[in-house]
Amino acid sequence: MPSICLYFQVHQPLRVKRYRVFDVGLDHEYFNDNSDTNLNNNKILSKVSEKSYLPANELLLGLLKKYPQFKISFSFSGVILEQFEKNHKKVLNSFKKLVDSGRVEILSETYYHSLAFFYSTLEFESQVKFHKEKIMEIFGITPSVFRNTELAYTNELAKWADKAGYKAILAEGWDSFLGWRSPNFVYKPKGAKKIKLLLKNYKLSDDLAFRFSEKTWKEWPLTSEKFGKWVSDINGNGQVVNLFMDYETFGEHQWAETGIFDFLEELPKEILKHPDNDFITPSDAVKKYPVMDEIDVPYIVTWADTERDLSAWVGNSIQKSAIKLIYSLENNVLETNDKRLIDDWRKLQTSDHFYYMCTKWFSDGDVHKYFNPYESPYDAFISFMNAATDLKIRIKHAKTRSRGRNVPKITNDKLQMSSQTKYLNE
């Protein structure tokens, strides 16, 4: 003890291209930018693959071979798997190789990397199902641990995952609900029967994800030896240290020049130096360790910004109006039975679109700006709303076309805005 639980998020959205008012009604391809800008999804994915996914995968494969105790877990959005399948098979194969080792767990999430749980339970469930099917198709695995987009979590979500049969669910180990308690134990969500809760150790995770190359940080430079010591210091005071972060931490957020790959390469050796330590996957962790206490999270907690809420996605009025518009189309778009149309609608639900509209400039502004491919949050909003307006017109046309014909409907029973929306204070 303690056990190290590594989980890496693998996701790239399909960014909406510069889509202007003149394009509405004429151009139905929202995601096919092929310019030199950062709205070119294929270009971005190539860059991130070269800088991060491919070298990191190669490194991890070596570590899995070298250390029989080494284990990791990934969560892939369906949207990135689709992009891999289309243009980046080599990258997908390198992930498959890792999974073939048998020591890589894959988590469950929404196919479209959306915040659907808070807007429509039915839509959310559809997306989780699509994701499951995709993971089975590509990796031949059925995940048993759930993590929601942006690690957005509430008691309600835990209850849902419990009912759906998951063994564990992940969340941010945030002080507001933890209080004096440590994130380094397994917990039980309030109101759930069987499911267990794993909480991110945000201090140690962010030491890597955010502070690793920060020269003004008093711990810089961070060596794997030092980090291994910090982890071992938890011994006796915790059972599982959950290091959750974006996979792009390796090589993209922290460039190779910062030494992040060398750090990763040495990490297992430093951790395993202490005979009590080991590596563990989320489903092993909940099998191995007992529940320490019950955790009550009646409000939404995410892994973003200093607020750890949804304000980075739906904090301002343009974000709220954009997400509201998308979910207001649910009934109508599903009724069209038009697969492409429904898929485009779902791709517009990806949380990143709303993140790009964030105007929290002066507090967390720098982080937001780094991740924003648009010139400004307002430009992101304008392209998104124009595309959504086009989608609305397509829905109208599709309905006119199908009127009179006897088309079986996909799902129109009990479709309504879910009660979850009550969490989202206007």
Partner 1 sequence: MPPKVLMLGWEWGPPFNSGGLGEACVGLTRALSKKGVGITFILPKRLDLKVDFLNLIFADVDEASEALVSVYTTRTSWSRLFPVDSAPGFQDYVSSSLKFAEKVKLLLKHLNNSIDVIHAHDWLTYPAAIVAKQILNKPLVVHVHSTEYNRTGGNNPNPAVYEIEKKGFEEAERILPVGGYMKEIIKDKYGINADKIEIVYNGVDDNRKNLPPSLTAFKKIGYKIVLYLGRITIQKGPEYFVRAAKIASQYFPKVIFVVTGSGDMEGQMMSEAANAGILDKFIFTGFLRGDERDRIFQAADLYVMPSVSEPFGITALESVVNGTPVLISKQSGVSEILKNALKCDFWDVDEMANKIVAVLRHRSLKDNLKTESEKEISYFSWSRAADEVLSVYNQLV
Answer yes or no: are the C-beta atoms of 44 and 374 closer than 8 Å: no
Identity of the residue numbered 245? M
Please report how close the Cβ of residue 317 comes to partner 1 at its closest, in angstroms: 4
Tokens 């309030």 correspond to 190
Q: For residue 384, which of 351, 335, 417 has the smallest C-alpha distance?
A: 351
Among residue numbers 330 through 369, which ones bind partner 1 (CB under 8 A)?
A: 359, 361-362
Residue 316 binds to partner 1 (criterion: CB under 8 A): yes
Residue 202 binds to partner 1 (criterion: CB under 8 A): no
Determine which one of 109, 150, 248, 335 is catalytic. Answer: 150
Stretch that binds partner 1, among 104-112, 153-161, 293-301, 320-328 (CB under 8 A): 320-328
State yes or no: is 150 an active-site residue: yes
Q: For residues 290 and 365, which CB has a smaller minimum distance to partner 1 in the complex?
A: 365
20, 86, 90, 163: residue in contact with partner 1 (rule CB under 8 A)? 20
Please report how close the Cβ of residue 408 comes to partner 1 at its closest, in angstroms: 36
How far apart CA 184 and CA 234 sit, in angstroms, is: 8
Please report how close the Cβ of residue 366 comes to partner 1 at its closest, in angstroms: 12
Number of residues in contact with partner 1, rule: CB under 8 A?
19
Task: List the structure tokens of 165.
Answer: 């049969």
Q: For residue 145, which of 281, 306, 320 has the smallest C-alpha distance?
A: 281
How far apart CA 198 and CA 126 sit, in angstroms, is: 25
Residue 314 binds to partner 1 (criterion: CB under 8 A): no
Q: For residues 145 and 382, which CB has a smaller minimum distance to partner 1 in the complex?
A: 382
CA angle 173, 177, 183 (to 5 degrees): 30
Percentages of the chain per state (helix, strand, coil), in multiples of 5: 50, 15, 40
How far apart CA 269 and CA 335 sit, in angstroms, is: 56
Helix (H, G, I), strand (E, B) or coil at 2: coil
Among residue numbers 365 through 404, which ones bind partner 1 (CB under 8 A)?
A: 375-376, 378, 381-382, 385-386
Sign of CA dihedral 347, 206, 202, 364: negative
**How many residues comprise the chain?**
426
321, 337, 402, 411: residue in contact with partner 1 (rule CB under 8 A)? 321
How far apart CA 92 and CA 366 sit, in angstroms, is: 31
Query: How many CB atoms within 10 Å of residue 168?
Result: 23
How far apart CA 118 and CA 299 sit, in angstroms, is: 11
- Annotated catalytic residues are 150
Write out the residues near partner 1 by the rule CB under 8 A.
20-22, 316-318, 320-322, 359, 361-362, 375-376, 378, 381-382, 385-386
